[in-house]
Amino acid sequence: MIQTILNALSLGGTYALASLGLGLVFGVMRLVNFAYSELITIAAYTLVMTNQLPIMVSFLFSVVVTSLAAVLMELLIYRRLRGAAPAIMLVASFGLSKLLQQVYELCFGALPRSASIAPWMSGELKFAGVSITNASLITAILTIVLLLAMRYLLNKTSFGIQLKAASADFRTARLLGVRANHLISLAFVMSGVLAAFVGAILVVGNPQVEPMFGMNMTILALVGIVIGGISSLPGSALGGFIVGVILSLLNTWLGNGRVYSYSWLFAAVFIILLVRPGGLLSKGQEMERV
């Protein structure tokens, strides 16, 4: 039971991180970044390829690579598309995502690359008669810490307040002196850092990295930001968390029927969207602007 709750929390937390990474970028430039999945993938590849280094060094390395990739993505592609219709940017990011997948396939091969990353993570911890895996405990703690850190960052620092202002109304924020290029680049860096964390959490659970490694996570995180309220950062995180928790619980409860857990999840999403088309934390009017 405790294991189930912990699993749900850690999966929910992971999805919340991924959704937040997507939501940060969406907020500043109305871009649904499908290629986020390739950021998660590159983070995982970096961890697997630098497996011989100490884990912290390897992880730092992957954070640097991932955020660099995110910034490059913005500079080379998305900067030129700024102001285009959201649908155009969505398709462009879909194309970029496919492009990077093919590049990974060319570089690393289509078959999974694997390495045992932090083997002690799969150990179990006995605690008052219940046993829980180290990985789920650490993931749960890590995501809670990260979410609190993000909360602090968004609410208390100048960068965070600028980000929130830009998400609410980008044009007005610019008029009030928010530097657009600067802020957007920073949002991409943050999104890259979050992707690196998500990639690391995923790769510990499943060290088989292949070119489409981040795809599933990203699609579900996207669904998360839509049900949470696409133009609100806390909404994104909440939506992601809900998706993760529902998925984890469905996987536990459905038993043999767990192959259909995605269908149930998506059905739940449909219902939420029908009741609240703008997402759980939306204020109604915001949809019109998008």
Partner 1 sequence: MFAKSWVKGLTRFSFTEIFIPLIIVAGSSLWLSGRSTSLLLFIKFTLCYLMMVLSLQVFVGNSGVLSFGHGSFAMVGAFVSGLATAPLVIKQHAMSLSNLWQPLVDFKLNLGMSLLASAIAGGVFAALTGGFLMRLNGLAAGIATFALLGITYNILFNNNHIGPSNQALPGVSQFSSLTLPLVLVLLAMVLVYFYNLSRLGRTLRATREDNMASRGLGINIVRVRWMSFMFSGLLAGLAGAMYAHVGGAVQVQDYYLGFTFFTLAMLIVGGSASLWGAVLGTIVVSGVSQILLMWEQSTPVLGVTIHLPIGTRAIVIAGMLVVILLWRPNGISNGNEFKLPNFLSKIKVS
Q: Is 280 in the site for partner 1 (CB under 8 A)?
A: no
Nearest CB to partner 1, comparing residues 127 and 266: 266
Q: Is 254 in the site for partner 1 (CB under 8 A)?
A: no
Nearest CB to partner 1, comparing residues 80 and 179: 80
Nearest CB to partner 1, comparing residues 32 and 202: 32
Residues 102, 35: contact at Cβ < 8 Å?
no
Q: Is 75 in the site for partner 1 (CB under 8 A)?
A: no
Q: Give the interface segment with partner 1, choosing from 12-20, 54-62, 146-154, 254-262 (CB under 8 A).
A: 254-262
Q: Is 105 in the site for partner 1 (CB under 8 A)?
A: yes
Q: Give the interface segment with partner 1, choosing from 44-52, 114-122, 171-179, 219-227 (CB under 8 A).
A: 219-227
Residue 127 CB, nearest approach to partner 1 (Å): 36
Nearest CB to partner 1, comparing residues 88 and 130: 88
Nearest CB to partner 1, comparing residues 46 and 101: 101
Q: Is 106 in the site for partner 1 (CB under 8 A)?
A: yes
Q: Of residues 127-186, which lie at the interface with partner 1 (CB under 8 A)?
A: none
Over the window 26 to 45, marking each residue x when it contacts partner 1 by CB under 8 A and - when it does not, the resulting string is ------x-------------
Question: What is the full DSSP assignment across the chain?
Answer: -HHHHHHHHHHHHHHHHHHHHHHHHHHHH----TTHHHHHHHHHHHHHHTTTS-HHHHHHHHHHHHHHHHHHHHHHTGGGGTTS-HHHHHHHHHHHHHHHHHHHHHHH-SSPEE----GGGG-EEEETTEEEEHHHHHHHHHHHHHHHHHHHHHHHSHHHHHHHHHHH-HHHHHHTT--HHHHHHHHHHHHHHHHHHHHHHHHHH--EE-TTTTHHHHHHHHHHHHHH-TT-HHHHHHHHHHHHHHHHHHHHHSGGGGGGHHHHHHHHHHHHHHH-TT-TT--STHHHH-
Binding site for partner 1 (CB under 8 A): 32, 77, 80-81, 84-88, 90-92, 94-96, 98-99, 102-103, 105-106, 215, 219, 222-223, 226, 230, 259-260, 262-263, 266-267, 269-270, 273-274, 277-279, 287-288, 290
